[in-house]
Amino acid sequence: MQSEHTYRDPANPGAPLIPRAEWDRGPYNRWTFRNVREVVPTTRVWRGRGPVSVMEEAPQDISGIRFTLDGRDWSVGDVLAETFTDGFLVIHRGRIVAEIYMNDMRRETLHLSQSVGKSVVGTVAGILIGRGLIDPKAPVTEYLPELEKTAHRGATVQQVLDMTTGTVFDESYTALDSHVAKLDAACGWKDPQSPDWPKTVWQLILELTEAERAHGEAFCYRSIETDILAFLLQRVSGRMLADLVSEELWMPLGAEEDACFTVDPAGYALASGGFNATLRDYGRFADMITHRGFYNGRQIVPEGWIAETRNGGNHAIFTGDYRVVLPNGAYHNQFWIEDVDRPVLLARGVFGQLLYMDEENEFTAVKLSSWPEFVHAGRTRLTLTAIRAVRAALL
């Protein structure tokens, strides 16, 4: 008998799995986020042949931890049950205190991270910046001269990292003709709505010729800028993105499983949202950030770059709806900053993906989800409040 979250029918081979236009949306994402390699093409992020890094365990029952939000009493268990959780991991002082799998997810299951992958790519940029291969103050066209004919002309690498360029990019997830809809088609996730749409992610980047403001004036979330960053990383290193993440992060971290990226028709690994990994391996990455780039016995990311990421956010240009969830927040180096007065780094993705990295308290949390909606401020606030309650209970 099939479970309610299984979309294959063994008795009907060759039958369509799910509507292609909706594979990444509810209710289908309850299955597809754990089975991306069966839906779209991917490329491997090899973990290497080295030993798996040891994650010490000190399990505690956190489900009964209680808190109040907007006048309602909650338990952490209630939150996990009501927010479409697939996996939840808590690490405190280097030891796993909670590891919870739901919705048929297992320890070896890869899960789509959506925009959490942006922070992975940003971290690789931090490593190459630390080696002097990239100058964040330089124009992005110094590394990608093809962008001279686009609205990214004159933008610095740092402005791309911070998403403060003035380039027009419509991130409306539900609009059928937005730039992000074109990105969905260009990256191979969806069918194009028009034969004139770009066929690859690089083609889409070259079509962004309209500006809405001067570079550096405001933060505006643009997924495509992580893809620009990835092409820059590939240009300066001579390596493809999946190999960079493998060699610079997954191998040094002692990851337990290979990860993967979805790829576009040209074989480009989607930096802005196509990264997949296991719950524990997301935990390894996040805990490495929590510990100033040091993990598995080595300094993987420059400590100074991590510190600058935590403390370098500009709240003044972090305006509008971004303040609903993070009223004193910021965005810097492809990470969200929870509060500029007490910096905790976040990596966030649509449909409920979250890494929480608190250096001061040696506290790390990972939540993988499959919400029915792209964004939901109420669920995000609820999740963050629950994580803070867990942290308070552990201190």
Q: What amino acid positions are annotated as catalytic residues?
A: 115
Supply the angle between the helices 116-130 and 224-237 in degrees, to the nearest 10. 30
Residue pair 63/76 in contact by the 8 Å Cβ criterion: yes
DSSP state of 196: T
The Cα–Cα gap between 383 and 381 comes to 6
At residue 64, the 3 state secondary structure works out as coil
The Cα–Cα gap between 266 and 15 comes to 28
Chain centroid to CA 1: 34
Kindly give the pairing relationship between strand 85-92 and strand 363-369: antiparallel
**How many other C-beta atoms can be found within 10 angstroms of the C-beta atom of residue 41?**
14
Residue pair 272/171 in contact by the 8 Å Cβ criterion: no
Amino acid at 359: E
Query: Residues 149, 151, 157, 159: what is their CA dihedral angle, to the nearest 10 degrees?
Result: 170
**How many other C-beta atoms can be found within 10 angstroms of the C-beta atom of residue 275?**
32
Residue linked to tokens 């049950």: 81
The enclosing H or E element of 234 equals: helix 224-237
> Which letter, b or e, does each residue of 354-390 get, where b requires 16 or more Cβ atoms within 10 Å of its Cβ?
bbbbbbeebbbbbbbbbbeebebeebbebbbbbbbbb
218's tokens: 């405001």
Widest CA span in the chain:
59
